[in-house]
Copies of this chain bind each other. A is one copy, B any other.
Amino acid sequence: MTYAPPLAAAAQDETRELRPKFDEHGLIAAIAQDADTGDVLMLAWMNAEALEQTLASGRAVYWSRSRNKLWRKGDESGHEQHIVDIRVDCDQDAVLLKVRQTGGACHTGRRSCFYRIATGAALTEG
């Protein structure tokens, strides 16, 4: 699928058409949030195909920058993300997925990737 191109400034903020603004690598940021608890689970990336598959399938599909391929979350780990809704931000360079998460979202096994709090240069888990 080819998306319509982004519009200029305020028109992009107010359009009712999905016009994702991909970066120079063809990616937009995707935040996954637990639809029930509100916890932010992870930040990942989508290309046009990942976004399209996510919208069409109701499962979160990302672009893995480390593996350089589409990554249907949970296909290997079993830790699937089922979409409740998908939001775009004002300039459409980021999406927010509200999901029902099976198991941990983080590859470390933790529920969320954001398991450490920074206090200055020190991190504590909690």
Residues of A within 8 A of B (CB): 3-4, 10, 13-18, 29, 31, 33, 37-40, 42-43, 55, 85-90, 93-96, 106-108, 110, 113-125
Report Cα–Cα, A107/B88, bound state, in Å: 15
Residue from A39, A86, A90, A106 having most chain B Cβ neighbours under 10 A: A90
Q: Which residue of B lies closest to A40 (CB)?
A: B96
Chain B residues in 8 Å Cβ range of A115: 87, 90
The one of B14, B16, B33, B90 in contact with A122, judged by C-beta atoms closer than 8 angstroms, is B16
Chain B residues in 8 Å Cβ range of A95: 118
Q: Given A40-B40, A120-B55, decide whether A113 and B86 contact each other with a Cβ distance below 8 A.
A: no
